[in-house]
Amino acid sequence: MTDDDLLRYSRHLLLDEIGIEGQQRLRDASALVIGAGGLGSPVALYLASAGVGRITLMDHDTVSLTNLQRQIAHDMASLDQPKVESAAARMAALNPGVQVHALAVKADAALLDEEVPRADVVIDCSDNFATRHLVNADCVRHGKPLVSGAAIGFDGQISVYDSRSGTQPCYACVFPPESGFEDAACSTMGVFAPLVGIIGSLQAAEALKLLAHIGEPLTGRLLMLDGRRMQWSEIAMQRDPACSVCSAG
């Protein structure tokens, strides 16, 4: 690390759990962020500020005025720009020492099969079940930990899915793709602006813990937030031995 790095990350270096070794792990790591909107904004900014060496952002959407109520990586100057380019510019301004790869494309099976193996952690900040299941399936296939979050209205949830041990559930164990869950869109249901910041910040924290090899990851537990009462609840999750994704074959 350079002298500037030691100064920039000094508050991390003071933490016994991180220190120089943990910060170096972050610097050497690669993260894939799916979605650069409400959840993806705090995730991208915190990963960049914390010094994750290589960050790939994937989102096909552009910035609109309705996004600015909650998507803090963007501003008025970003209107009509691809979200990944807007977020990448903000990340570079925050920390020019990180490498940001902006992919202004929709996540599909072929692209994920190319990008997921390159990542040390995948953070799903998408807003629909179809994408979440695609991301989960690829993480299971390539043995990558997945940090998944969701937020709508005043309700949010977050968990870490890591099937590498063979004992923890994947996303499909908890939300089976054949169950027919319906997507709820912010454009019709609305979303409390700080909610995505809360959930996204937690996603960033879990990703950083995984990359730095510190703490206990949120595997096997689903945290849910009722933003009206600001009350958390937790559900223990079990691996489904009949799961169509992580138990296939």
Q: Where are the domains of the chain?
A: 3-154+191-216
Per-residue pLDDT tens digits for 176-202:
988 766 666 666 678 999 999 999 999
Are 62 and 82 in contact, with CB atoms under 8 Å apart?
yes
Give me the mean pLDDT over the 5-14 stretch.
96
Per-residue pLDDT tens digits for 40-92:
999 999 999 999 999 999 999 999 999 999 999 999 999 999 999 999 999 99
Give me the mean pLDDT over the 231-236 stretch.
97
- The rounded distance, in Å, linking the Cα atoms of 216 and 209 is 8
Query: Taking all residues of the chain, what is their mean pLDDT, rounded to a whole number?
Result: 94
State residue 182's pLDDT score. 62
What does each C-alpha distance from 90 to 74, 95, 170, 203 come to in angstroms? 8, 9, 32, 19
Are 116 and 144 in contact, with CB atoms under 8 Å apart?
yes
Give me the mean pLDDT over the 87-115 stretch.
96
Kindly name the residue from 125, 139, 170, 186 that is annotated as catalytic.
Answer: 186
246 is catalytic: no
**Residue 175 pLDDT more than 90?**
yes
- The rounded distance, in Å, linking the Cα atoms of 233 and 224 is 5
**Residue 27 pLDDT more than 60?**
yes
State residue 166's pLDDT score. 86
What CATH number does the domain located at 3-154+191-216 have? 3.40.50.720
